[in-house]
Structure formats: structure tokens, C-alpha cells
Amino acid sequence: MSDIQIERADGVLEIRFNRPAKKNAITNAMYGAMADALESGATDAQIRAILFTAAGDFFTAGNDLVDFAAQSSGAFEGPRHVSRFLQRFIEAEKPIVAAVQGNAVGVGVTMLLHCDLVYIAENARLTTPFIDLGLVPENASSLTLVDRVGHARAFAMLGLAEPLLGRDAAACGLANAALAAAEVEPRARSAAQALAKKPAESLRLTKNLMRNRERLMLRMQEEGELFAERLKSPEAAAAFAAFLGRR
């Protein structure tokens, strides 16, 4: 079974994290599969909305740290798909809905800041431990997190790696609703299906009016340069080694 499952039904392209034994940590190949799906969804007139879901108890533990360690040491070869995935996400003109049934870490949180609707389990914990990993925020989250939750809360999440609970995420406008975990996916799917029935061009124009992609892309680029430097830093190497050596 693939680590990313793609399904198309009722006008909705569903992208499912399906690596539960590794808490849905996202590998380079998974970013590639998701970027391909977003690209095909963008040009497929049958697809009117995109839905992210996840198997197991975690939404996603973020970027795979084995991949990060390989990128840090220079052992990684081949194209990195993460940037293509993040760019397609920001460029998406069709609405994106997320069903966050469990905890999310790193990019699993920052991707939510580009979603149009987010349904989350009330007890889910959102954490962004970039600084603990010797990194900097990515995916334009140094802008979008502040926009969504305000500087004080954003800095507690980025600086202290304080978790934001699902119910607080809904209260402060990061998510649309905090629900019992079992209700999250059905609610998100029905919202995506409802969006898929709306007048597509009106929806596209409205989403475009609501987003300043130029500003987001510029910040993502700035962050990306620093992130690439930090990946190779001794601080990051020590953090990855600590995770990989913890057993």
C-alpha cells in the first residue's frame, strides 16, 4: 500500500497520508506523489476541491527526520520534491480542506495555514519545533502563523515549541471547528463535497481575491534559503542525530 493514497470521488481529490507506523512522517517520495496529485488536480476540470486526510492516530509527524539527516550530511541524492509540493499548495486555485484527526508537527501544521477549511480533533496537538531542530520556519509560516494566531501565540509555538490544542486552534481562527476525532474526517469530506458543487469560477475568483500569493511565495523563498543553510548546520545535525539515536 502506498504511503500516499490518492482518490477521486464526487469532484474531490483526496490526498491521504498513509504511513501510520511512522506517524505519517513525510518522505521525499511522499512530497513528490502529493505534488504530482496537486498538479493533476489543478488541470482536471472534474476536480473541484482538494481534501487532505490521514490514516492512524497522527495527522503527520512532519518531515521525515531520516531524510533531513541525509540532506544535512550531504548523503541525499536526487531532486527534493518538498519545494514543488509547497509551491503547488500556495498556487492552488481550487479550495483545500484538511481533516486533522490527530497530532500534527512541522509541515503538518504549516500546510494547514494555506488550507481554506480545517477541521480538527479537539485534543489534537499542533507543534512547530523548527528551532529545537536547529531550523527556521518554512512554507511562509513566519507570516501565516502570525496572521492566523497573532504574534504572541505564534512566538510561543515557534520559540518555545508550545503545542496548540485543537480546541484552541478553532477558538483562535486557525481551524473552522474542533470536533471529536471520529467526526473530523466525515465533516471535512462533506465540506469538500459541498465546495465541489459550488459555481467553480466564482469559487476560484474568490479564493484568488482572498490570498496574496506573491507575498507568500516571496516569504517562502526567503525562509527556504535560510532553511537550506540551517539544514547543514551543526545545530541541526545534532538534533537529527539525537532523534535517530534515541533508542
Cβ-based nearer residue to ligand COA, 64 or 185? 64
Measured from the CB of residue 188, what is the shortest distance to ligand COA in angstroms?
22
Give least dist CB 45 to ligand COA, A.
35
Question: C-alpha dihedral over 229, 161, 122, 150, to 10 degrees?
Answer: -80
Closest CA to 50 of 92, 7, 97, 16: 97
Residue 53 sits in the site that holds ligand COA (CB under 6 A): no
Q: Binding to ligand COA (CB under 6 A): which residues in 123-162?
A: 129-130, 133
Check if the beta carbon of residue 21 is closer than 8 Å to that of residue 64: no
- Grid cell locating 141: 509560516
Distance CA 20, CA 23 (A): 5
Q: Which is nearer to ligand COA, 60 or 87 (CB)?
A: 60
Q: Which residue from 106, 137, 163, 166 is in contact with ligand COA, where contact means CB under 6 A?
A: 106
Q: Which of 33, 65, 111, 178 binds ligand COA (CB under 6 A)?
A: 65
CB nearest ligand COA: which residue? 106
Task: Determine which residue in the list 3, 14, 64, 122 makes contact with ligand COA, applying CB under 6 A.
Answer: 64
Shortest CB 71 distance to ligand COA, Å:
12
* Total number of residues that touch ligand COA (CB under 6 A): 15
Is residue 63 close enough to count as binding ligand COA by CB under 6 A? Answer: yes
Q: Is 30 in the site for ligand COA (CB under 6 A)?
A: no
First to last CA, the chain: 27
Q: Comparing C-alpha atoms, which of 109, 39, 65, 93 is closest to residue 236?
A: 65
Nearer to ligand COA, 119 or 130 (CB): 130
Grid coordinates representing 175 are 481551524
Provide the strand spans (E) within the chain. Answer: 4-9, 12-17, 49-54, 58-60, 96-100, 103-105, 117-121, 125-127, 164-165, 177-179
Residue with cell 503538518: 108
Give the interface with ligand COA as residue ranges (CB under 6 A).
22-23, 25, 61-66, 105-106, 129-130, 133, 243
